Structure 1
Amino acid sequence: MLTAVDHVQLAAPPGSEDRLRAYYTEVLGMDEIPKPAVLAARGGCWFAVGPVQLHLGVEEDFRPARKAHPGLRVTAIAAYASRLQERGAKVVWDDDLPGHRRFYSEDPVGNRLEFLEPYGPDPVG
């Protein structure tokens, strides 16, 4: 039986780790977590905040995810959007999901990221 999403993997081009580290730690406020040695040799980097983990893996024939994306739940979404904009990230608001405020952004290699906050009490818990 499935109990949770352990992590989401996104692809990145070779040599982009420094840009990814700057974005995911300084812009999004995540912490870099160590990759196991056998996996670290492949490049890429992993990030976490609370139970949320995003893994960025090197892909030789990289193409950014423009439609597929992780949906990241946030609190104080307007303040979070301002944080991203103040640090140079693009923020595009979208009102099409009932019961939620949300916006889209992109990481420095062009992967789409969705940030959302439900209106009122959290129906999922």
Structure 2
Amino acid sequence: MLNGLHHTQLAIPPESEPAVRAFYGGVLGMTEIDKPPVLATRGGCWFRSNGLEIHLGVEQDFRPARKAHPGILVNDIDTLAKHLGEHGIEVDWDDNFPGHRRFYVHDPLGNRLEFLAPTPPA
């Protein structure tokens, strides 16, 4: 019955769009996509990269998602970790997921993101 994930949504506080544009669009290199006009009036912004969409929606009583997170598959995890480090973003490696290499980061608002890549078979 279920056949895929269209997007994940994270909350952001009002007026924080410039910070998330700099991170998701600038640092991560995702493409900002237009929100439907009826939703654009609510603020926030949406980003896409290779079929992955992250929707950032304004929440008046914002609290960052420090535990809940999207798990984002990547092609070259080491290059991404180095790139994030060069932008002053702390990379927290975690080897507790068999069959994958992964790390966590937090966006500028404190939302947790997981990046992972399957390890090749031995």
Question: Fold match, TM over 0.5?
Answer: yes
Runs (4 or more) in structure 1 with deviation over 4 Å come to: none
The aligned runs of 1:39-54 (5 Å cut-off) are 39-54=39-54
Q: TM-score, normalised by structure 1?
A: 0.94
User: What is the number of residues matched between the two proteins?
Assistant: 121
Q: Distance in 2 between the 1:115 and 1:55 partners?
A: 17
Structure 2 CA distance for aligned equivalents of residues 54 and 74 of structure 1: 15
2:16 is matched with 16
- The two structures, once aligned, show a CA RMSD in angstroms of 0.8
Work out the CA distance in 2 between the residues paired with 1:44 and 1:101.
31
Q: Deviations over 1:30-65 (max 9, x none)?
A: 110000111000000000001000000000000000
User: 2:120, 2:81 → 1: CA distance?
Assistant: 19
Distance 2:81 2:29 in 1: 12
**1:31 — aligned with what?**
31
CA distance in 1, matches of 2:55, 2:70: 11
Give 1:89's aligned amino acid.
I
TM-score, normalisation: structure 2: 0.97
Q: How does 1:1-125 map to 2 (within 5 A)?
A: 1-120=1-120
Q: Which runs of no fewer than 5 residues in structure 2 stay unpaired? A: none
Q: Counterpart of 2:103 in 1: which secondary structure?
A: strand
User: Please, which runs of 5 or more residues in structure 1 have no aligned partner?
Assistant: none
Q: Percent identity?
A: 61
State the one-letter code of the partner of 2:35: K
